[in-house]
Amino acid sequence: MASGTDRSQSTTTNGVEELSISKRKVALITGITGQDGSYLTELLLDKGYEVHGLIRRSSNFNTQRINHIYIDPHNVHKARMKLHYADLTDASSLRRWIDTISPDEIYNLAAQSHVAVSFEIPDYTADVVATGSLRLLEALRSHITTSGRTHVKYYQAGSSEMFGSTPPPQSEDTPFHPRSPYAASKCAAHWYTVNYREAYGIFACNGILFNHESPRRGENFVTRKITRAVGRIKIGLQSKLFLGNLQASRDWGFAGDYVEAMWLMLQQDKPDDYVVATEESHTVEEFLEKAFGYVGLNWKDHVEIDKRYFRPTEVDNLKGDSSKARKALGWKPKVGFEQLVKMMVDEDVELAKREKVLVDAGFMDAQQQP
Ligand code: NDP
Ligand code: GDR
């Protein structure tokens, strides 16, 4: 699906089309195939942007979350989302695409984003999350220097994991104490972003986002792991769910709400850093109670603890203070905890029903997940 297109290929000989294209804002998103990338793309397309996404090469297509908004690039009148191969570990690709696309806004969402996995592949996590962000900032700095396009804005996907063991409520003034290679790498990316803002005057913002979930959440994050299991247990495709620490507490919001905060940060007159959170925290156990209870099940009948899912160092308690974002950006979450759980369970019950049809027809093993 990725193409080698550039902006000039989007223009036509039709004057009206060319005018509207030249006036259109252009966004570049890394991590477009991820949960947040898909919601942000929808938001920006709705606002009339042309959206370019960098995707990495994989042996299977990794574009499931954005397939529904993909239009063949040969359809120049309609295709406003374009995909290009690049990788945060490949500086030359980042530099080339920034120069070719000439974006007005860059959203750096790409990451090895799984905290537990970062203990298994720490070098790679640092390479993508920390040094990858530095590569992108450096490519942007070089682009601005050579093109004179000083208005380009940059968003860095920071994380509440940076606060780690510092007790809640956590705000922009709370000291970082990262508890994983992932979190330490996000701290580096945060400070690279601050430094490029101070050293070169680049419009660069850090969004310090607390956990945000959705039916598009990766299936090995705890909320989706739970709602997938609830759906499959309800439909009779599985009976047990193995989890780790149930006492960790998280400030869980809806991803669709959080991408709006990213966009708002880049619409301000001055660059700054913002915490984005619901200001409500719940334990994994509370999530279990709500999700299983919603479909009339008792989580205690199905959940077993597996030590494999405990982390060498845990983040016990996250609860954000997002008063700055609420005041300065006029942002607030629309979806609350209960609504989020129901939205995810509803979608995963439907997904399990579709799986059941395949299992019953002999096209899929019940143990197998698509
Ligand atoms: P996902 O894991 O769903 O998406 C990560 C994206 O990064 C995917 O598109 C992935 O591609 C891409 N990616 C991974 N490695 C590379 C690489 N080497 N080069 C280029 N692209 C790469 O994350 P989310 O959408 O949930 O999160 C978006 C960002 O926000 C991440 O940086 C995450 O760390 C951060 N964050 C997320 C929070 C959350 O609660 N969701 C909270 C705070 C911060 P592929 O599809 O091929 O795997
Ligand atoms: P987190 O999300 O580490 O907060 O990072 P995750 O859903 O992985 O874990 C949340 C909490 O649940 C506990 N837990 C389990 N976690 C997983 N994944 N699997 C289990 O079986 C399990 N059992 C219990 C964890 O120990 C933890 O305490 C997410 C990611 O999106 C990051 O990229 C992002 O930066 C932060 O949120 C904010």
In this prediction the ipTM stands at: 0.99
Confidence of residue 79 (pLDDT cuts 50, 70, 90): confident
- The residue contributing the CA closest to ligand 2 atom 36 is 211
Q: Among 72-81, 104-113, 143-152, 197-206, which is the least confidently predicted range? A: 72-81
182 labelled catalytic? yes
116 alpha carbon, closest ligand: 2
Confidence of residue 251 (pLDDT cuts 50, 70, 90): very high
What mean pLDDT is predicted for residues 116-143?
98
CA 28 to centroid of ligand 1, rounded, Å: 15
HSE, side-chain direction, 13 A CA sphere, residue 183: 19
> What pLDDT, on a 0 to 100 scale, did the predictor assign at position 367?
75
112 alpha carbon, closest ligand: 1
Residue 150 has pLDDT above 50, yes or no: yes
What mean pLDDT is predicted for residues 283-311?
98
Catalytic, out of 107, 182, 196, 294: 182
Confidence of residue 71 (pLDDT cuts 50, 70, 90): confident
> What pLDDT, on a 0 to 100 scale, did the predictor assign at position 7?
41
What's the whole-number average pLDDT of the chain? 93
> What pLDDT, on a 0 to 100 scale, did the predictor assign at position 369?
57
**CA–CA distance, 344 with 69 (Å, rounded to integer):** 21
pLDDT digit string, tens, across residues 326-345: 999 999 999 999 999 999 99
- The residue contributing the CA closest to ligand 1 atom 46 is 33
Which pTM was predicted? 0.94
**CA–CA distance, 342 with 321 (Å, rounded to integer):** 25
Under DSSP, the state recorded for 166 is S
* Radius of gyration in angstroms for the set of CA atoms belonging to the chain, rounded to a whole number: 21
Q: Which residue has the tokens 């509440």?
A: 160
Which string of b and e fits 292-325 if b means at least 16 CB within 10 Å? bebbeeebeebbeeeeeeeeeebbebbbbbbebb
Residue 1 has pLDDT above 50, yes or no: no
198 labelled catalytic? no
Q: Is 95 in the pocket of ligand 1 (CB under 6 A)?
A: no
CA 275 to centroid of ligand 2, rounded, Å: 19
Mode of pairing for the β-strands spanning 282-283 and 249-250: antiparallel
- The residue contributing the CA closest to ligand 1 atom 23 is 34
Q: How many residues does the chain have?
A: 370
- Contacts of residue 365, Cβ cutoff 8 Å, sequence gap at least 6: 359
- pLDDT > 70 in the chain, percent: 93
CA 115 to centroid of ligand 2, rounded, Å: 7
CA nearest 303: which of 225, 355, 364, 249?
A: 225
CA 39 to centroid of ligand 1, rounded, Å: 12
pLDDT digit string, tens, across residues 17-31: 444 556 799 999 999
